[in-house]
Amino acid sequence: MLKVENLRAGYGAINVLWDVSLNFPLGELTAIIGPNGAGKSTLLKAVMGLVPTTQGSVSLDGYPLTDRATWDMASLGLALIPEGRMVFRDMTVEENLTMGAFPKPHRAALGRNLERVFGLFPKLRERRRQLAGSLSGGEAQMLAMGRGLMSEPRVLLIDEPSLGLAPVIVREIFDILRGLKQQGVTIVLVEQNTRMALGLADGVYLMRAGRVILAERAAAVDIDRLHDLYFAREGAAGDVADAVFK
């Protein structure tokens, strides 16, 4: 279990996450949805140690991650695929992927992982010598995902992979996530596309204004209520969910 307990985090004087608690059971895909500015990306960054926390803890199988260095996360089995598909534009596709294998223990497995990623994304193989800056948006997202997978993560955190992409590419990306889940990878997916996220997720959290306001099994979600809470419509205040998945 990846466990976030009572986490408070932000940027200097600006606090963003207010005592959030979320559980991410191993082997499951958990979706985090919520409007812009809810703190979803901040949460993923805080898990990876990219944003300082002022209270609470993050642990993986009982092992504390808070205060571990970000560069340690890959060897602990975590990888973040950040929003905005940041790739090194002046490097080739293959060079970008190789960067994802940087943590020492994974260098030996470089060739095997390259093959695995090219197997998942055949377009990246075709374009392996092309500069990343010349890729289409969908290809760049695939490259960002491929790079995240080069360290063979057990736990993959992925931030809005579908943003701005054509529906056919979005389906391709969701198919890849489904495949990874079937292989046993634990996935935390931040996604604005609620319906698609629910179609794939085991559990779902809704965040608003730095708090978790709903925690539910995806199959049990009432989508109308979810949207009421999402948009904070009148009369839908609900009780703030302290619930986490056991």
Ligand X SMILES: Nc1ncnc2c1ncn2[C@@H]1O[C@H](COP(=O)(O)OP(=O)(O)OP(=O)(O)O)[C@@H](O)[C@H]1O
Q: Footprint of Mg ion on this chain (CB under 5 A)?
A: 41, 83
Residues in Cβ contact with 55 at an 8 Å cutoff, skipping those fewer than 6 apart: 6, 7, 8, 19
Shorter beta-carbon distance to ligand X: residue 34 or 49? 34
* Residue 38 in the binding site for ligand X (CB under 6 A): yes
> Contact region for ligand X (CB under 6 A) — 35-43, 150-158, 165-173, 211-219?
35-43
* Binder of residue 16, out of ligand X, Mg ion, none (CB less than 5 to 8 A by kind): ligand X
User: What is the DSSP annotation of 63-102?
Assistant: EE-TTS-GGGHHHHTEEEE-TT----TTSBHHHHHHHHT-
Number of amino acids touching ligand X (CB under 6 A): 12
Q: 19 or 152: whose CB is closer to ligand X?
A: 19
The site partner of 182 among Mg ion, ligand X, none (C-beta below 5 to 8 Å per kind) is: none
What residues from 201 to 230 belong to the interface with ligand X (CB under 6 A)? none
Residue 37 makes contact with ligand X by CB under 6 A: yes
Q: Which of 21, 30, 41, 162 binds ligand X (CB under 6 A)?
A: 41
SS3 category, 174: helix
Neighbour-count burial for 8-46, b at 16+ CB within 10 Å, e otherwise: bbbeeeeebbbebbbbbbeebbbbbbbeeebbbbbbbbb
Which range binds ligand X by CB under 6 A, 36-44, 64-72, 99-107, 122-130?
A: 36-44
Residue showing tokens 């539910």: 216
Q: Is 193 in the site for ligand X (CB under 6 A)?
A: no
